[in-house]
Amino acid sequence: MSNDTIVERIIVGVDGSVPSRAAIRWSVERARSHDTGVVLVHVMDDEWGAIGSQLIAEANRGSVDMLDAGARMVHELSPGMPITVELLYGSPMWELAQLSNETTLVVVGTHKTGFHYGRAFGSRSLQLASLARGPIAVVPESAVRLRRGVVVGIDDTTAGRNALAVAASEADRAGSELTLVRALDTPAPDYLGEGGKRSWQEERDTHARRELTDAVSRVQELHPRLATRSRIIRRPAGIALNEVSRNAELLVVGSSRRSGFEQANGLGSVAYDVLLNLVCPTMIVHSYVGESTRPESPHPQEEHHEHAR
């Protein structure tokens, strides 16, 4: 785990909507903490090519006005912050994904939120998360105010460790508490019998506590003044993370991808579940490794541990 995460550019996809303005507001706060500026990007959908040249010209003027309005908003929120605007043409999520890399955070807003086993929304943000090579953030329109704390899902994978590093850095920069969540949900095999199942669960609980203890130690070694809290929750990982982060300012989720492929993209199952049922500003951090994070199934109990310094 490195002692900091480097964000050199924050790119915001803008379309003039309320969620887009929420994404700008959230991005300005992050840019300020990373001592960088923002790049406002509007992508004119290439479907405009099917209409007449006069309407295309009007759409171009509207897009420029939209970007100008976004730049004014950034200036009002943070006078002096560097601002760049870009107008692109093509498929919006594809074009935004092409701007993504390890040191560039791409941010989009969404008015779509949902609940597990209920309504599910947000397919465009899922598309962006699947295509982007670097970190992305999805910001719901109600995201910015009256939210506190950073939440991160952890496990013993490269994706989990990278998500922890990013979350710890973001929490430290914001002066916020960091909550580490370890979801446990794989049921004991039936062939073990009742006694065997209890032993199996106790062993998994012990391993999960050890993972959390090690993770908290790594965080506090690099961010000694950061207040941390850790939780073991017996629910599917996506459900657990969304429940804990309902009032959080940021949720960070790692997403594993298989390396060695020319087009190594896609989205891990936990990240997919979280974005499909978005409850707060959520950052997806990709890792290129040999195996993916696996989701797990429901159990009503939870354990709660706190650490603060």
Profile the chain (309 residues) by mean pLDDT over runs of 10 residues: 73 94 95 95 75 64 93 97 95 94 94 50 80 94 78 91 95 96 79 72 84 95 96 93 94 79 66 92 83 37 44
Return d(Cα 58, Cα 239) in angstroms, integer.
44
**CATH number of the domain at 1-145, out of 3.30.465.10, 3.40.50.620, 3.40.50.12780, 3.40.640.10?**
3.40.50.620
**Dihedral (CA of 12, 129, 279, 31) sign:** negative
Q: Which residue has the tokens 């490794």?
A: 289
Q: In terms of Cα–Cα distance, which of 285, 287, 6 is closest to 150?
A: 285
pTM of the predicted protein model: 0.83
Looking at residue 306, its pLDDT comes to 46
Query: How many Å separate Cα 98 from the centre of its chain?
Result: 18
Return d(Cα 167, Cα 77) in angstroms, integer.
24
Return d(Cα 92, Cα 84) in angstroms, integer.
18
- Comparing 1-145 with 147-309, is the CATH topology the same? yes
- Number of Cβ within 10 Å of residue 225's Cβ equals 8
3-class secondary structure per residue, the chain = CCCCCCCCEEEEECCCCHHHHHHHHHHHHHHHHCCCCEEEEEEEEHHHHHCCHHHHHHHHHHHHHHHHHHHHHHHHHCCCCCEEEEEEEECHHHHHHHCCECCEEEEEEECCCCCCCCCCCCHHHHHHHHHCCCCEEEEECCCCCCCCCEEEECCCCHHHHHHHHHHHHHHHHHCCCEEEEEECCCCCCHHHHHHHHHHHHHHHHHHHHHHHHHHHHHHHHHCCCCCEEEEEECCCHHHHHHHHCCCCCEEEEEEEEECCCCCCCCCCHHHHHHHHCCCCCEEEEEEEECCCCCCCCCCCCEEEEEECC
Indicate the domain borders of the chain: 1-145, 147-309
Per CATH, which fold does 147-309 belong to? Rossmann fold (3.40.50)
Looking at residue 112, its pLDDT comes to 63
Q: Which amino acid is at 220?
A: Q
Return d(Cα 72, Cα 148) in angstroms, integer.
27
Q: Which residue has the tokens 């670097």?
A: 134
Token pair recorded at residue 36: 């960088």
